[in-house]
Structure 1
Amino acid sequence: MSLIFLILLIFNILIEPCKLKVNATELSYRKINERAEIDKVTKFVDPLIGTQNEGHVFPNPCLPYGVVKVGFDTDDIKDNHAGYTVNGSITGISHLHVSGTGGEPKYGVISQFPLTSTSLYTIPLHNYTSLRSFEHFEVGYSKFGLKRYNVTIELTAARRTGVHSSRYRGGSIYSVSPSQITGVGHYSGGWNEGSKYTVYFCSQFNKNASSFGTFWKSFINENATFLSSFDIPFDTPAIGAVLGFDFDSNMDESGYQACKSAQEEVPNFDFEKTRELAVNAWETELSKIRVDGGEVGSDLKTIFYSSLYRTMIIPSDRTGENSKWSSYDNEGKLVPNYDDLYTLWDTFRTTIPLFTLFQQSRVIDITRSLIDIYQHEGYMPDGRSGMSNGITQGGSNADMVVAEVFLKNLGDNNNAINWTLAYEALLKDAEHDPWERGIFEGRMFLPYYKLLGYIPFPTYKTLSYAYVPCSKTIEYSTNDWSIALVAKKLNKTDDYIKYHSRAKNWENLWYPNMTVKGAKGFILPRFINGSFDTSWNVFNTTGYTPYYEGSAWEYSLDILHDVKRLIYLAGGPQAFERRLDKTFKDKTYLTPYFYIGNEPDFFHPCLYHFIGKQWKSAKLIRDILKRKYGKEPGGIPGNDDSGAMGSWFVFHAMGIYPMAGQDIYLINSPHFSNVTIYLSPNATFTILAKNQSTENIYVQSVKINGVNWNKTWFRHQDIKNGGILEVEMGDEVSTTWGVINGVNGESVVPPSMSDY
């Protein structure tokens, strides 16, 4: 009996190389401070949360923002976006995955599979998959069994290297000098539909094989050292290599990993050391937010840290791995390069704002990467993966990221970001129609938006989902407001006036004469002649619609940058409150009124702030978190979307919420009595919730840095260098704090564009 390793390359379309090397490089970690073992937060992370209920979360080993995400793949094609599924047979182990995404799966290429067979010629190449006999997941480590072959596999990861340990329960492998397989795979596809990409791999074994060969279909060529897809029929589904290892009862296990420079990350094939370093890396990043004093006996900490963990699985830091170009800063260092921004449409609302608090150096690097991509490819990305810009779902949402980092003054101290070039990238999005790349970059149908003030609805309804003129018009308006704020801060007065004006374009789709369920006025599709499609069902979300993944009811509330104007058009505060009450009446929170499983609705529970009833937001948000988040594998409301669902939970559990693309945070209802956010090694932002409990959910009073604070919001500048937000909690709604015309008659609602 031999232990056999299959290395399987599935070829789709052959292309010019864009190297994604699964290699090793320098691995370095820094600690915030020394903490006792008992104080570690990684013990609260459950990687399986979000792997069911279409969460598509990657549960296997990786590092924060690591290139390699090593894990097994299954044949359950309905849900294997991250490789892992609850059901289905295991088809192999691969090193590249995404997490939480919808649409067509990406990666899962260069598959390796250990099995047992009497010889190379008895390998069941036509069907070698296996059910799992067990599985186990921790931070930086996973372990599972192949039931068919009685083989146990353990996985861990470094930044660019995956380490496998495979054991046969009756013997082991002779320990001799290593052997290896190298190769290349060319691929295309995945949801973002970006350019084709190439993966170079090198698989190294710490024991010599007793037999080897190459294969395609069911044909094995023993002792062959080379096989190219160009030498066999084009329609061949797979080619690969196979190695056989003899067993000896005196030996114990084998490990294999990416080779050559992998010795730098995984010296001497040290599985346990690699696993330890992976856990330490996660501990360092997760410990940048410390929470204490949640509900006694609850699973709040587990849900919190598991959510925070998921925000850092992707994007992937590919700095030093970009074969398309190399950029260097003024100090001669490589400019950061990030991939698997999948997508900014999902993450600009909560994930990126969360990074501006606890991952400031990281978000600066991501911003530098966006600008560098613009400089070399002409546009900043939205759905970038496989080292290629992909589908833009809505607006040019890299604008929101750049604007927010700029408005929060991040990176100013070390001049890390070239703001002149950044502003140039913003204007490119705002002024140039990417006709040559269609849906993949910039803003589609920009000439209509600039000329008419909206994107018109076609008289024929057979276009692809990428058209969505209503939601794109809204998002372009929001993008323009963020650009206007940047222009204002740069003293570019003419640009500020221009983009301030264009940020009103969403109003051109507001039809005031439609009343549905007591709500008056809706964003409706409008034809090029100026007339509205008044027959549109405001709850329709199926088929081709002018709204991306949402209904007219939902998008008619999604005016992030000018809620004050929205309230006026909707009939005033009282009418708007009734509209909101109707929106959140169904406590499933998965309806055409409000769908918490999708990003355009993320901001809507906070809309009560803008009518002076923050307490309604607080009560609603607590109910959503209780009903829609849990510690189970299905414990998130749909696709995790690159950690977007996780970051939404994290913000609300801490008791604050960001206004994306701006420098504003709203104050809600903290779930912990003490939250400490490490903004930098020298600055912390602390949220103290006094008398916080399950019953005491309403804010009674607030202080920021010792100063009484009646507003329901604050700016990043208020806590930029560190600070303390003190919140007094109670079981009844306050009649003084956060109320319009409350203490000293002060207006407390968050600012809108109409206030400028």
Structure 2
Amino acid sequence: MNFQIDLCSKNMTSLFLLVVFVLIKSCNLKVDAAMSSYHEINERAEIDKVTKFVDPLIGTQNEGHVFPNPCLPYGVVKVGFDTDNLKDNQGGYTVDGHITGISHLHVSGTGGEPKYGVISQFPLTSTSLYTIPLRNYKSLRSFEHFEVGYSKFGLEKYNVTVELTAARRTGVGHYSGGWNEGPKYTVYFCSQFNKNASSIGTFWKNFITENLTFQSSSDVSFDTPAIGAVLGFDFDDEPYESNLVITSRVGISFISSDQACKSAQEEVPNFDFEKTRELAVDAWETELSKIKVDGEVRSDLKTIFYSGLYRTMIIPSDRTGENPKWSSYDNEGKLVPNYDDFYTLHEGYMPDGRSGMSNGITQGGGNADMVVAEVFLKNLTSNNEINNSLNWTLAYEALLKDAEYDPWERGIFERRMFLLHYKALGYIPFPTHKMLSYAYVPCSRTIEYSTNDWSIALVAKKLNKDEDYIKYQSRAKNWENLWYPKKTIKGAKGFILPRFANGSFDTSLNVFNLSGKTPFYEGSPWEYSLDILHGNNSFSHVKRLITLTGGPQAFERRLDKTFENKSYLTAYFNIGNEPDFFHPCLYHFIGKQWKSVEVIRDILKKKFGKGPDGIPGNDDSGAMGSWFVFHAMGIYPMAGQDIYLINAPHFSHVTIYLSPNTTFRILAKNHSSENIYVQNVKLNGVNWYKTWFRHQDIQNGGILEVEMGDRISTTWGVINGKNGESVIPPSMSDY
């Protein structure tokens, strides 16, 4: 991290920097200061790059919880200010409230109590060390400004301007609380400044001790006073006109303070703020330019697109070489890639979510199974980096462990719970357990476990493990054990309902119930009864779902009712949460791709925009951004499989760089805001009548040509269209 403070007050005699850490249990704090030359920043000229389309503030309101301050793609350091109005925002930023500090570790788009917000600094002006208002030093902001790799804001109370930028790594703290409580973690830091401090001290219990460089505390928590250091920089002898600037660099490591210092000195030599900022922008330009779009249907589309793509790369955090819990090197001495801060995807088990080097609460199944399955099916092992870093034998063993062993030793923080019931009954029974609602959700867990088993079956098939394949593809049908065919609501027949251990169903459940200890995680029975997206040996489970609901026409009426309310934030369909993300694409499975297009277009138009409230809910580590990006390009992936569905592009030209020398292009002809319906498609020069394609069709590059029109096509995308070829996404027998 590199931050810069402009001293603007003529009445100020000294600037003081509070280095505040909120810690747990005992803590020792040592303070040091280093000197070098400083570098003034000049305003950066506007450059014609894709980074200019990124607005970091999109998603910072409306419970989006986005982190808008500087970081690198997947960078460890995410430096930005925190406020006293956080509530459940882990990004640090809120639109109002007092600034309480500038900290170096955050996550983005997640709910729950703050996970990080540590290694905090706060600049203020005071006449002496002893007049610092420790009990109330926080300040309102006088202005704020955000760009890629850069932010700038004013502290109204002290007339101080702060500018922030970031390198890849930057320090130390212990704390607890929130979705991922976990054990304490240690972060080492190395804080250096371009000017010697004229006075130093430490504080605890709102009392400053001058000239003390070591402070020990026996108990520090959120409810007791903070511990920290005070550094004073005296400018009495320097004229105001000299535009005084203090530059600070803070290196962070999870291994040692020496490694933190090394990172700071290598990444920010000579305290060069502007060079660090340029490198941050260049890093983002490199990543964001892997997708180029042009010819948008509306003027704000590029901003929304690249801002969404940007948010997908804020986290997870690339902590390669920074994991103290296991060796960072393989047997050949090569660094093994290691990431943290990934959400809703465990130590000892495959991950569902993880932050601060410990597991978060499992919100359903084990979605790492889906990731592994995609890597296998899409043949991503051809990538040397992935191939060299993955032990496929060990990965498969981990999948089987997750599927067979109930992790009671870690309870709700590990993979699949209640496996004994799931394997014996084919479902998780209700309601005998007294756990919290977010842990004991037997219906949504049963659905997710079925999907996870399907992913394991696909991996087993590719590895020629036939017995395992048969076993897990059979278990993939377990969701159907919770299907109650006799319940009819709003013309829809059949729902996933809780089932008791004796086999009977709880038919009293309101299918629109979203409150209390329901058997579904963050969704209603109506929503989850459409959330069957995997396949089995003879047909897609979506096809089975269609049969259970009464056939294609009944299923179409059910989908029409699902999207009837155009707010798209109801118990029928909630675009603000992941369980419903795939539902607009379900029309593909009844040969009505054009209806998927209509719904998706309307959602993108109404629920995504340029302002701070420009996403329809929690961004969830870039999940909202990725949903928009895929649909704006006109394709959407089926999770855990190698299939992409074709919708309708919002750009006339899309170029995806699969590698530096391999591109996949999507070209939309006759493209306009009125021409939203697909008329004809060519894939790699061949007429293509399906509404989907496989990854292998484009893995070596390719061109998807989509001809658009203002009327629904009667020949493309319909069941048994030209040549009698089915357009429905494939059955398992096609694998």
Q: Decide: shared fold, TM above 0.5.
A: yes
Relative to structure 1, the CA distance from residue 284 to residue 8 in structure 2 (aligned partners, 3 Å threshold; closer, same or farther) is same
Measure, in 1, the Cα distance between the counterparts of 2:86 and 2:329: 41
**Equivalent pair of 2:437/2:518 in contact (CA under 8 Å):** no
**Equivalent pair of 1:612/1:740 in contact (CA under 8 Å):** yes
Give, in angstroms, the shift of residue 724 of structure 1: 0.6
Give, in angstroms, the shift of residue 222 of structure 1: 0.4
Measure, in 1, the Cα distance between the counterparts of 2:527 and 2:176: 34
**Equivalent pair of 2:630/2:636 in contact (CA under 8 Å):** yes
Q: Which amino acid aligns with 1:497?
A: I
Write out aligned runs for 1:371-410 (5 A). Answer: 377-410=347-380
Give, in angstroms, the shift of residue 203 of structure 1: 1.4
Measure, in 2, the Cα distance between the counterparts of 1:327 and 1:69: 22
Q: Which amino acid aligns with 1:199?
A: V
Measure, in 2, the Cα distance between the counterparts of 1:185 and 1:489: 45
Which residue of structure 2 lines up, in the alignment, with residue 357 of structure 1?
none
Q: Which amino acid aligns with 1:129?
A: K
Measure, in 1, the Cα distance between the counterparts of 2:674 and 2:221: 69
Give, in angstroms, the shift of residue 16 of structure 1: 13
Measure, in 1, the Cα distance between the counterparts of 2:489 and 2:734: 29
**Is structure 2 residue 696 aligned with structure 1 residue 717?**
yes
Give, in angstroms, the shift of residue 462 of structure 1: 6.5
Query: What CA deviation, in whole Å up to 9, does each residue of 1:264-296 have, x standing for no partner?
Result: 000100000000000000000000000000125
Query: What CA deviation, in whole Å up to 9, does each residue of 1:486-541 have, x standing for no partner?
Result: 11111111111111100000000000010000000000000111100000100000
Which residue of structure 1 lines up, in the alignment, with residue 453 of structure 2?
480
Which residue of structure 2 lines up, in the alignment, with residue 607 of structure 1?
586
**Is structure 2 residue 247 aligned with structure 1 residue 255?**
yes
Relative to structure 1, the CA distance from residue 233 to residue 102 in structure 2 (aligned partners, 3 Å threshold; closer, same or farther) is closer
Partner SS, residue 440 of structure 2: coil
Which residue of structure 1 lines up, in the alignment, with residue 290 of structure 2?
288
**Equivalent pair of 1:481/1:499 in contact (CA under 8 Å):** yes
The partner residue of 2:68 within 38, 49, 59 is: 59
Measure, in 2, the Cα distance between the counterparts of 1:594 and 1:754: 31
Which residue of structure 2 lines up, in the alignment, with residue 78 of structure 1?
87
Relative to structure 1, the CA distance from residue 455 to residue 79 in structure 2 (aligned partners, 3 Å threshold; closer, same or farther) is closer
**Equivalent pair of 1:188/1:197 in contact (CA under 8 Å):** no
Relative to structure 1, the CA distance from residue 576 to residue 276 in structure 2 (aligned partners, 3 Å threshold; closer, same or farther) is same
**Equivalent pair of 2:70/2:150 in contact (CA under 8 Å):** yes
**Equivalent pair of 1:195/1:389 in contact (CA under 8 Å):** no
Which residue of structure 2 lines up, in the alignment, with residue 686 of structure 1?
665
Partner SS, residue 215 of structure 2: coil
The partner residue of 1:155 within 160, 164, 168 is: 164
Which residue of structure 1 lines up, in the alignment, with residue 318 of structure 2?
317
Point out the more displaced range, 404-413 or 66-75.
Answer: 404-413
Partner SS, residue 174 of structure 2: strand
Q: Which amino acid aligns with 1:255?
A: T
**Equivalent pair of 1:73/1:80 in contact (CA under 8 Å):** no
Write out aligned runs for 1:492-503 (5 A). Answer: 492-503=465-476
Write out aligned runs for 1:477-626 (5 A). Answer: 477-561=450-534, 562-626=541-605
**Equivalent pair of 2:24/2:220 in contact (CA under 8 Å):** no
**Is structure 2 residue 619 aligned with structure 1 residue 627?**
no
Query: What CA deviation, in whole Å up to 9, does each residue of 1:419-474 have, x standing for no partner?
Result: 11111111111111111111111201011111100000114766442110000000
Q: Which amino acid aligns with 2:51?
A: T
Q: Unmatched 5+ residue regions in structure 2?
A: 1-12, 30-44, 252-260, 535-540
The partner residue of 2:270 within 259, 268, 273 is: 268
Which residue of structure 1 lines up, in the alignment, with residue 398 of structure 2?
425
Point out the more displaced range, 73-82 or 553-562.
Answer: 73-82
Which residue of structure 1 lines up, in the alignment, with residue 21 of structure 2?
9
The partner residue of 1:436 within 405, 409, 412 is: 409
The partner residue of 1:194 within 168, 171, 182 is: 182
Give, in angstroms, the shift of residue 233 of structure 1: 11
**Equivalent pair of 1:194/1:391 in contact (CA under 8 Å):** no
**Equivalent pair of 1:14/1:186 in contact (CA under 8 Å):** no
Give, in angstroms, the shift of residue 210 of structure 1: 1.0
The partner residue of 1:95 within 104, 111, 114 is: 104
Which residue of structure 1 lines up, in the alignment, with residue 627 of structure 2?
648
Relative to structure 1, the CA distance from residue 409 to residue 609 in structure 2 (aligned partners, 3 Å threshold; closer, same or farther) is same
Measure, in 1, the Cα distance between the counterparts of 2:222 and 2:112: 27
Measure, in 2, the Cα distance between the counterparts of 1:79 and 1:568: 42
Give, in angstroms, the shift of residue 231 of structure 1: 8.5
**Is structure 2 residue 304 aligned with structure 1 residue 303?**
yes
Q: Unmatched 5+ residue regions in structure 1?
A: 18-35, 162-182, 345-373
Relative to structure 1, the CA distance from residue 326 to residue 90 in structure 2 (aligned partners, 3 Å threshold; closer, same or farther) is same
Measure, in 2, the Cα distance between the counterparts of 1:205 and 1:520: 68
Measure, in 2, the Cα distance between the counterparts of 1:553 and 1:61: 40
TM-score between the two structures when normalised by the length of structure 1: 0.88
**Is structure 2 residue 382 aligned with structure 1 residue 412?**
yes
Relative to structure 1, the CA distance from residue 278 to residue 524 in structure 2 (aligned partners, 3 Å threshold; closer, same or farther) is same
Measure, in 2, the Cα distance between the counterparts of 1:723 and 1:235: 59
How many residue pairs match? The answer is 685
**Equivalent pair of 1:60/1:71 in contact (CA under 8 Å):** yes
Partner SS, residue 133 of structure 1: strand
Relative to structure 1, the CA distance from residue 736 to residue 16 in structure 2 (aligned partners, 3 Å threshold; closer, same or farther) is farther
**Equivalent pair of 2:86/2:92 in contact (CA under 8 Å):** no
Which residue of structure 2 lines up, in the alignment, with residue 30 of structure 1?
none
CA RMSD of aligned residues (A): 1.9
Measure, in 2, the Cα distance between the counterparts of 1:309 and 1:713: 27
Relative to structure 1, the CA distance from residue 480 to residue 13 in structure 2 (aligned partners, 3 Å threshold; closer, same or farther) is farther
Partner SS, residue 293 of structure 1: strand
Measure, in 1, the Cα distance between the counterparts of 2:277 and 2:440: 46
Q: Which amino acid aligns with 1:518?
A: G
Give, in angstroms, the shift of residue 476 of structure 1: 0.4
**Equivalent pair of 2:321/2:328 in contact (CA under 8 Å):** no
Which residue of structure 1 lines up, in the alignment, with residue 53 of structure 2?
44
Write out aligned runs for 1:333-372 (5 A). Answer: 333-344=334-345
Partner SS, residue 355 of structure 2: coil
Write out aligned runs for 1:237-252 (5 A). Answer: 237-247=225-235, 248-249=238-239, 250=242, 252=244
**Equivalent pair of 1:50/1:636 in contact (CA under 8 Å):** yes
Point out the more displaced range, 256-265 or 333-342.
Answer: 256-265
Give, in angstroms, the shift of residue 717 of structure 1: 0.4
Relative to structure 1, the CA distance from residue 557 to residue 37 in structure 2 (aligned partners, 3 Å threshold; closer, same or farther) is same
Relative to structure 1, the CA distance from residue 134 to residue 113 in structure 2 (aligned partners, 3 Å threshold; closer, same or farther) is same
The partner residue of 2:124 within 115, 126, 148 is: 115
**Equivalent pair of 2:402/2:415 in contact (CA under 8 Å):** yes
**Equivalent pair of 1:194/1:384 in contact (CA under 8 Å):** no
